[in-house]
Amino acid sequence: MATNNFKSFGIGAGANVTSQADYEALAALLTGFQSGKASSAQINKALRQSSTMAYVLAQFISDSAAVDVLDNGTPATILANLKAAMTSVTPGRLLNVQVITATGTYTPTTGTKSIVVEQVGGGAGGMPCAGSNSTTATLSGGGGGGAYAKFRITTVPASVSCTVGGGGASGAAGGATTFGSYCTTPGGSTGSNGSTTSGATIGGGSGGVTPTIGAGATQLVSSHGDPGLNGTAVNTAGGNGGRGGSSPLGLGGRGAGNGAGEAAGGFGAGGGGCFLPAGGSAATQLGGAGSGGAIIVYEYA
């Protein structure tokens, strides 16, 4: 059994302490004992009140954290053990949330017993459009969103290597996001682009394929990415680039009605496609950029 050096004073039967009523009426409660004599019963009462509370707190630390609480002049150790005791009697509370947006290493916050992780792969960029001419419109589909997963780990390692998938630039796929060997969420794919002298539909990119959940992780949610929408030309004068695929953590970029596609917002969403009507700009227009992936770690005591 752990040792507690802090003891209550004057708690025996018939102890020489003043009564509670007399103590509460004592002027020295406000002013402290002044020059002259204070009765031993009054001093003993003050010592018993403070020492009993010190004992109770120390015993809580000793019982809850299973450590010795020693009167050896190291209050920093007692404070650290108090924090450990508080954590031990409040299991399951949320300690911290870490949002990881760049490749690196996840290190748990002290006291973390389990984690819930959300992650998404990078979104693809919308495809670019070649410049149009007097008889031809050009258009493209939106980029696909990254795959998404949510899972729980109850045996938390000391660290986890993380890769955060980048968002694709115009015409580029999104990168895969990994949380060690626990989970991989692939990035979105790019769509198509083309031209028309009448009307046409051009395909959007597919979303990231179904995530892989590895040993040690309990799947809560797992989903392939949202595909980008098709670009559509009603005729050579009117149409729209495809909207980018969205994710649970981000919104796909809008397809343009005349010009470049919109970039995605948030995390893991695809960029919008573009549309140039006949007689429009001769310059190439870019699809919107996809947004990068992310890993969000919820840490619990």
What is the predicted pLDDT for the residue at 146? 98
Task: Tokens 């070649």: give the residue.
Answer: 130
Query: Are the C-beta atoms of residues 210 and 147 closer than 8 Å to each other?
Result: yes
Query: Are the C-beta atoms of residues 140 and 231 closer than 8 Å to each other?
Result: yes
What is the predicted pLDDT for the residue at 109? 96
What is the predicted pLDDT for the residue at 46? 92
CA–CA separation, 234 and 275 (whole Å):
11
What are the tens digits of pLDDT across the range 94-133? Answer: 999 999 999 999 999 998 999 999 999 999 999 999 999 9
CA–CA separation, 167 and 291 (whole Å):
4
Nearest-5° Cα angle at 110, 266 to 215: 65
Q: Which portions of the chain are predicted below pLDDT 70?
A: none
What is the predicted pLDDT for the residue at 101? 98
Query: Are the C-beta atoms of residues 211 and 183 closer than 8 Å to each other?
Result: yes
> Cα torsion for 175, 180, 181, 183, to the nearest 10°?
-50
Element (H, E) at 120: strand 114-120
Task: Tokens 């969103």: give the residue.
Answer: 145
Sort residue 48 into left (φ over 0), alpha (ψ -120 to 50) or beta.
alpha
Q: Which two tokens stand for residue 94?
A: 């949320």
